[in-house]
Amino acid sequence: MSYYALWGFGVTKSIKGKGVDITLKDLAVGTSVPKSGFVLLIILYAIATFFVRVVATNEGSLMFFGREVPFSSFPGVFSSLGNICMILLALLYRKLGYFTSLAIMFIYQFPTLIIQFFVFGNVTAVSGVFSNLFTLVTITIIYVINNKNLKYQQRVMNQAITDRLTGLPNRFAVGELCDKLIGDQVRFTFLSIDIVNFKSINDTMGHEFGDKLLIEIANRWRSLAESGNTGTNDFVGRLGGDEFCLIIRDYKNVEQITHTLYTYKAELERVISIEECDYFMTANFGYAVYPKDGVTTDQVISGANAAMHVASTKGDNGIMGFDPDLVSDTYSLEIERKIRTALDNQTITFNLQPQYDIGHRLRGFEALARMKDEEGNNISPVDFIPVAEKTGLVDQIDSRVFELAVKFVSDVINETLTNITMSVNVSVRHLMKNNFIEEITGVLEKYNVPPHCIEIEITESIMIDSTEKALNTISELKDMGIKIAIDDFGTGYSSLSYLNNLPSDLLKIDKSFIDVMNDSDSSKQYVAMIVSIGHIMNLKVISEGVESADQVETLKEIGCDYIQGFVWGRPMTAEDAMKLVLEVV
């Protein structure tokens, strides 16, 4: 049968036949204050009431700030404490607290006060009656306001977790459920579903028609989930666009998972009739199992997505289970697609990280490639640079960043009449292009930037690929007046003979050496040796990845020329970099 997980007060329950609506309601309401607080307030009220009776009949007294105060003065104090308990009950426990307080008042407090006044002639009971009336008004006002606030909060939360078009749980609600299941260590299978060729239907028939199609698919799958016909506990959601998901629980083996998947697939593939038109829809299904294929929500969903992307070509009839080998291939293909889109849309941008001399005077900046996808989300260079190198797109990224960097230098010169050094990374593939020199020259002439303001960063590996051609190209750059920096020195080829022949100006010490420089004397001496080699060869030396003041002091001590790192400047936008230049000019 189909069951939907509900959680209230931290306890997971199973409710048969209630479906998505119950789950969403529970997500919206969430948890309240603990039940133990309710019991504690009742006990406090009982204690306060007990002391009201005790002090009211006690003829003794106590000394209070040097004055004798009779116990008969304290009933009002304890009575007020009891009223406060009732107010807190109504405030914190809403309906339950409000009606509990009413019961206390009308079953115990008001009858007791009436008896005290009419039977025993206790005129002080009159003040108690009015005090309780005021409390009654107060808790009633709290109850009414609480109800209004609760309804508003439920409406807002329901909108936050529900897909407005289909009424299914949205991406946020699905993530919350996965987090809950993982927190409770409940085994489940997450299924990513992509409707095949939906975009073409949407473009051909219009968005309104496409919406009707999505609603019909959602209704079919919702009904199937609530019917319990699959024999597993199913939860259907819509992630956005033509992407749906299915969370499957309470299965005994892989065969049950497969049976459920094919049941939903068959339900989708039944003819769909909309506006007297018949459509036969199919989908790609990819699934991942917790905890076998991932131990966090992101890992499980990413695994299912990876399987879904290759289901059409490698899957069994459009269904594919997660395999670790899928991740790298699928992810690389997706990153490659995003790189090509970013190049077409010119959303390859750059950040600038400042470089300083050892006296903390600004030398210039290093241009660092940055990229955003179609939704405006940043993609880490750690992810897109290796893919760009593998697919041959890195030279296009180089060209884009180089032009942006040169334009920035031009803006600085026009704004401040000051020359700065702009360091730009160039890949081996880009440097080896036959028209590389012409490309560099064209950009410099376009923005009227002097060559001596530009520094090209190359890696030692360039000496392995094509030594003669590399030397010729670098020599031409040097003849133009462009500076040459050897990046990540010490981590690659590191041949001193090649280094001696390479017409360079600067050595960059890799961050990995700086990180451990102060851990031991040998590590410090290794960095000092690189600095000495650079100076012997008449090269300046810059250390990158410097993050602490003690690292700066060590680099000063061993004679390093320049500093680059978080300690003096993080990568920043061109606008912030211009502000920095204007501050120091």
Q: For 264-300, write each residue's pLDDT tens digit.
A: 999 999 998 888 778 889 999 999 999 999 899 988 9
Residue 424 structure tokens: 């730009």
Alpha helices, DSSP H, located in 394-466: 394-416, 428-431, 436-447, 462-465
Phi then psi for residue 47, to 5 deg, are: -65, -45
CA dist 419 and 485 (Å) reads: 18
How far, rounded to the nearest angstrom, does the alpha carbon of residue 204 sit from its chain's CA centroid?
35
Work out the number of other CB atoms within 10 angstroms of the CB of residue 507: 25
Residues 497-505: what's their mean pLDDT?
Answer: 76
Q: Measuring CA to CA, which residue among 45, 35, 46, 42 is closest to residue 11? A: 35
Q: How many CA atoms lie within 13 A of 289 on its CB side?
A: 14
Alpha helices, DSSP H, located in 206-323: 207-227, 254-269, 297-314
- β-pairing verdict for 283-290 and 378-379: unpaired
Cα separations (Å) of 275 from 151, 213, 281? 38, 10, 16
Maximum Cα–Cα distance across the chain: 116
CA dist 158 and 173 (Å) reads: 10
Q: Between 551 and 307, where is the model more confident?
A: 551
Strand (E) or helix (H) holding 55: helix 35-56
Q: pLDDT by residue (tens digit) across 195-224?
A: 988 887 877 788 888 899 999 999 999 999
At residue 19 the predicted structure's pLDDT band, cuts being 50, 70 and 90, is: very low
Q: Measuring CA to CA, which residue among 22, 25, 8 is closest to residue 153? A: 25
How far, rounded to the nearest angstrom, does the alpha carbon of residue 484 sit from its chain's CA centroid?
39
Q: Is 300 in contact with 190 (CB distance < 8 Å)?
A: yes
Helix, strand, or coil (residue 4): strand
Q: Between 23 and 347, where is the model more confident?
A: 347
At residue 329 the predicted structure's pLDDT band, cuts being 50, 70 and 90, is: low
Helix %, strand %, coil % for the chain, to 5?
A: 55, 20, 25
pLDDT given for residue 157 in this prediction: 66
pLDDT given for residue 7 in this prediction: 30
Phi then psi for residue 163, to 5 deg, are: -70, 120
pLDDT given for residue 568 in this prediction: 95
Helix, strand, or coil (residue 184): coil
Residue 362 structure tokens: 């600004």
Q: pLDDT by residue (tens digit) across 461-470?
A: 665 555 677 7
Q: Label residue 245 exposed, middle or buried (CB < 10 Å: 0-12, 13-18, 19+).
A: buried
CA dist 208 and 382 (Å) reads: 41
Top-ranked range on mean pLDDT: pick from 258-262, 464-468, 484-488: 258-262
Residue 164 structure tokens: 């407005």
pLDDT given for residue 463 in this prediction: 57
Domains of the chain as residue ranges with CATH = 3-10+164-322 (3.30.70.270), 32-161 (no CATH), 334-584 (3.20.20.450)
Q: Is the pLDDT of residue 22 over 60?
A: no
CA dist 538 and 556 (Å) reads: 18
pTM passes above 0.85: no
Q: Between 27 and 403, where is the model more confident?
A: 403
CA dist 170 and 109 (Å) reads: 49
Q: pLDDT by residue (tens digit) across 171-187?
A: 888 988 999 999 999 99
Q: Between 529 and 147, where is the model more confident?
A: 529
pLDDT given for residue 164 in this prediction: 85
Top-ranked range on mean pLDDT: pick from 135-139, 315-319, 333-337: 135-139
Q: Is the pLDDT of residue 42 over 60?
A: yes
Q: Label residue 87 exposed, middle or buried (CB < 10 Å: 0-12, 13-18, 19+).
A: middle
Phi then psi for residue 12, to 5 deg, are: -85, 130
